[in-house]
Structure 1
Amino acid sequence: MGILSWIIVGALAGWIGSKITGNDASMGAGANILCGIVGATIGGWIMSIIGKSGVNGFNIYSVLVAILGSVILLSIINAIKKRK
């Protein structure tokens, strides 16, 4: 995937992930993009562990994997924030 595709998938996955975890009000566009890109990496890593393909192009499967990863990332961040 090209850099523009990563940004688009990252923005979409980060935004949806922040909606699911309730972080949307505290996140801006840049944070959504970063969260989605990192989430795609996490989701791809998890999928490879269970024997599935990770983010492999600009398609619905890749977006779903990225959303899964961003929800996991935001859940971890929320748990850390609550401990403080």
Structure 2
Amino acid sequence: MNFILFLVIGGLIGWAASKVMGTDAQQGILLNVVVGIIGAFLAGLVISPLVGVPDLTDSLSLGAVAVSFVGACLLLFVVSLFRGRRRAV
């Protein structure tokens, strides 16, 4: 049950991050879930120990969701840096 909840929360976090970062039109629901889960994982490794908040795998709290959201936004930002902007011809 925790795995399904983790996928749903990850999907919502990924969708919200893609809305904030302006990449929602480029990605579908599957990529939203992937971005949310990878962002939550990276945030749990890097950001959570710095701010003293448990990660999303430890507890479902507002702080854990916020840290996961920041991680997903940072992931989208880094991906956009490497991908670059494409010009319309």
- Which amino acid letter does the alignment assign opposite residue 55 of structure 2? G
Q: Where does 1:4-83 land on structure 2 (aligned, <5 Å)? A: 4-50=4-50, 52=52, 53-55=54-56, 56-82=58-84
One-letter identity of the residue aligned with 2:8: I
So what's the TM-score if we normalise by structure 1?
0.87
The 8 Å contact of residues 14 and 32 in structure 1, kept in 2 or not, is answered as: yes
Identity %: 29
Root-mean-square deviation over aligned CA pairs: 1.9
Contact (CA 8 Å) 2:41, 2:68: kept in 1 or not? yes
State how many pairs are aligned: 84
Cα distance in 1 between the residues matched to 2:18 and 2:79:
11
In terms of fraction of residues, the more helix-rich structure is: 1
C-alpha deviation, 1:48, in angstroms: 3.7
| 1:77–1:42 distance in 2 versus 1, CA, 3 Å | same
User: Hey, what's the Cα distance between the residues in 1 that align with 2:6 and 2:36?
Assistant: 9
Amino acid at match of 1:16: A
Task: Report how far residue 9 of structure 1 moved.
Answer: 1.1
TM-score w.r.t. the length of structure 2 is: 0.82
Distance 2:48 2:65 in 1: 16
Distance 1:50 1:59 in 2: 17
Equivalent AA in structure 2 for residue 54 of structure 1:
D
> Shift in Å at residue 83 of structure 1?
7.5
